[in-house]
């Protein structure tokens, strides 16, 4: 990730703050999102892009949703989520709907991603 951040910073002529967020299982969610929101508050909110890959891709979306909840969403200029673990609850393939219960069990209030958030993120 550090190499990608350097590449983006150099080619886009921007400043990037790479957040070394706490990891589980020692630090369960939403510690990762909280660390990223703190970095947002430290940085320049007028030029904020939420960027991440893998777990960080999911965190990039979760941070943006948290900022929206705190009425700070207008400052987010974009999201770059590379290979995030995101799935709209209505796009689960038919053969998996019987066993895919994650959003039913965590429709609202899950620490990083819940069904309600995915509807907000992807739209109806």
| CA–CA gap between residue 34 and residue 25 (Å, rounded) | 15
pLDDT in tens, 46-100: 778 888 887 788 888 888 888 988 898 888 888 888 877 666 667 778 888 888 7
Q: Look at residue 115 in the predicted model and tell me its pLDDT.
A: 73
Q: Of 78, 81, 91, 92, whose CA–CA distance to 55 is shortest? A: 81
End-to-end CA distance of the chain: 32
Q: What percent of the chain has pLDDT over 90?
A: 2
pLDDT in tens, 7-22: 888 898 877 878 888 8
pTM for the complete prediction? 0.64
DSSP conformational letter for 13: T
| CA–CA gap between residue 114 and residue 119 (Å, rounded) | 9
């Amino acid at each position: 990730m550090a190499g990608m951040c350097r590449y983006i910073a150099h080619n886009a002529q921007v400043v990037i703050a790479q957040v070394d967020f706490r990891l589980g299982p020692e630090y369960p969610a939403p510690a990762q999102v909280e660390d990223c929101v703190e970095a947002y508050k430290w940085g320049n909110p007028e030029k904020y892009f939420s960027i991440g890959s893998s777990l960080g891709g999911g965190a990039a979306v979760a941070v943006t949703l948290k900022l929206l909840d705190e009425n700070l969403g207008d400052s987010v200029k974009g999201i770059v989520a590379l290979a995030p673990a995101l799935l709209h609850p209505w796009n689960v393939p038919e053969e998996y709907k019987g066993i895919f219960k994650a959003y039913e069990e965590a429709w609202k209030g899950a620490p990083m991603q819940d069904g309600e958030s995915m509807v907000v993120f992807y739209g109806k």
